[in-house]
Structure 1
Amino acid sequence: MKDFEKGLVGLYDDLMIGPGYTFEDFKKSRYFCNQDGILIVDLEEKVYIDGRCYLACLFFRNGAIYMLSLICCDRKFSEIDEPKRKAFHDEILKGYGIEGKQEYSWGSISSDYDSRGNVSSINLVYN
Structure 2
Amino acid sequence: MKINTVTGDVSVCGTVVLSNLTLAAALQDAVFKTANRIDRPGGYTRLAVERQCNDSKYIVWMFFVVNRLSWISIYVDDRHRRGDWSDWSEVEERRMLAGLVQILEQQGISNGQRYSWGDVLASYDQRAGVANITVRYR
TM bin, normalised by shorter chain, reads: 0.7 to 0.9
1:111 is aligned, of 105, 109, 122, to 122
Distance (whole Å) between structure 2 residues aligned to residue 52 and residue 108 of structure 1: 27
In structure 2, the residue matched to 1:35 is: 37
Query: Aligned to 2:110, which of 82, 99, 105?
Result: 99
List alignment gaps of at least 5 residues for structure 1.
Answer: none
Letter in 1 for 2:19: P
Distance 2:45 2:72 in 1: 13
How many residue pairs align between the two structures?
123
The runs of 5 or more residues in structure 2 that have no matched partner are none
Percent identical residues: 23
TM-score, structure 1 normalization: 0.80
Aligned to 2:51: 46
Give the aligned CA root-mean-square deviation in angstroms: 2.5
Local SS of the residue matching 1:7 = coil
Q: Tell me which amino acid in the other structure corresponds to 2:21.
A: Y
Shift in CA distance, 117/68, structure 1 to aligned 2, threshold 3 Å = same
Taking structure 2 as the reference length, what is the TM-score of the superposition? 0.74
Does the CA contact (< 8 Å) of 1:86 and 1:120 recur in 2? yes
Q: How does 1:1-127 map to 2 (within 5 A)?
A: 2-11=3-12, 13=14, 15-30=15-30, 31-33=32-34, 35-37=37-39, 38-43=44-49, 45-48=50-53, 51=54, 53=56, 54-73=58-77, 78-80=87-89, 81-127=92-138
**How far 1:18 moved relative to its partner?**
2.7
* Structure 1 pair 60–82 and aligned structure 2 pair: CA distance change class (3 A): same
> Which residue type is aligned with residue 118 of structure 1?
G
